[in-house]
């Protein structure tokens, strides 16, 4: 999709590290566009689900939207369209793998959507967003609507291990753009990691990773084994 305002496109791709390195003004970064793009994206996805799937309850609509509009899904989409190499980063940030960082990719994609909305209007933005998200929307609708990975993981761990999973949270970035990183443990084993723009999102992503990781499964914890051995003896 061609932009009429090339300056708007450049701003959507300008990370704050690049702006700092080149002594640009704060408004020349993609941060304000990212905020707008987030709102536009929420509107388009919510409108599509609301109008096309009247059978869905408010709770189901909320779950599906949260499953679709989050940092990790946006980063995956950004990778699919090859956005990373086009993001303007400082030399240090690029050397540190910035063009592959989920938070940077997700912010840039949202900024791009915000810029597209300003440049070409809501109808064009809607067509582009739905083209990007269509397969994921249909995938979410055709599968289980249970996207509460934390609850599923907890139920499984309690059943198989007799203990609760534990989460450790780390955070980075300024207050208005924090990224949270969650690590989930089963016993002393680290079984999943995830990131998000909130603690809840990061924990859900860590739990989803754990559910896809079979290494921790199989047998009870050593404490339960000892207890059963004593009971059997």
Residues 32-90 pLDDT 10s = 999 999 999 999 999 999 999 988 889 889 888 988 899 989 999 999 999 999 999 99
User: Which of 121, 142, 163 is the C-terminal boundary of a domain?
Assistant: 142
Residue 38 bears catalytic tag: yes
Q: For residue 128, give the CATH number of its domain.
A: 1.10.1520.10
- In sequence order, the 6+-apart residues with CB closer than 8 A to the CB of 46 are 61, 65
Residue 110 bears catalytic tag: yes
Q: For residue 191, give the CATH number of its domain.
A: 3.30.160.20
Q: How confident is the model at residue 232 (pLDDT cuts 50, 70, 90)?
A: very low
Residues 207-231 pLDDT 10s = 999 998 878 776 444 444 444 434 4
Domain region containing 215: 149-232
Residue 233 has pLDDT above 60, yes or no: no
For CA atoms 165, 170, 174, 179, give the dihedral sign. negative
pLDDT at 145: 58
Q: Give the active site residue among 31, 34, 99, 110.
A: 110
Q: Give the active site residue among 38, 201, 203, 205.
A: 38
**Number of other residues whose CB lies within 10 A of the CB of residue 143:** 10
Residue 147 has pLDDT above 60, yes or no: yes
The answer to whether residue 1 sits within a structural domain is no
**DSSP symbol at 14:** B
- In sequence order, the 6+-apart residues with CB closer than 8 A to the CB of 155 are none
Question: Residues of the chain with pLDDT > 70: what percent?
Answer: 91
pTM above 0.85, yes or no: no
């Amino acid at each position: 999709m061609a932009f009429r305002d090339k300056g708007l496109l450049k701003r959507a791709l300008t990370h704050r590290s690049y702006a700092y390195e080149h002594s640009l003004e704060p408004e020349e970064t993609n941060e304000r566009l990212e905020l707008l793009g987030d709102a536009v994206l929420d509107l388009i996805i919510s409108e599509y689900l609301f109008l096309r799937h009247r059978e869905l309850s408010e709770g189901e609509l909320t779950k599906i939207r949260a499953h679709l509009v989050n940092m990790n899904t946006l980063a995956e989409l950004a990778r699919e369209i090859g956005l990373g190499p086009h993001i303007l980063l400082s030399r240090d940030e690029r050397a540190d793998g910035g063009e592959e960082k989920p938070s940077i990719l997700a912010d840039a994609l949202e900024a791009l959507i915000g810029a597209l909305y300003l440049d070409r209007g809501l109808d064009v933005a809607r067509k582009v967003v739905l083209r990007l998200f269509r397969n994921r929307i249909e995938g979410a609708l055709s599968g289980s609507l249970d996207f509460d990975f934390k609850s599923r993981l907890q139920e499984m761990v309690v059943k198989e291990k007799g203990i609760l999973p534990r989460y450790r949270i780390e955070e980075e970035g300024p207050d208005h753009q924090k990224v949270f990183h969650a690590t989930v443990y089963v016993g002393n084993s680290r079984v999943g990691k995830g990131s998000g723009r909130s603690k809840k999102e990061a924990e859900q992503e860590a739990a989803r990773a754990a559910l896809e990781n079979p290494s921790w499964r199989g047998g009870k914890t050593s404490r339960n084994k000892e207890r059963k051995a004593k009971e059997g003896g």
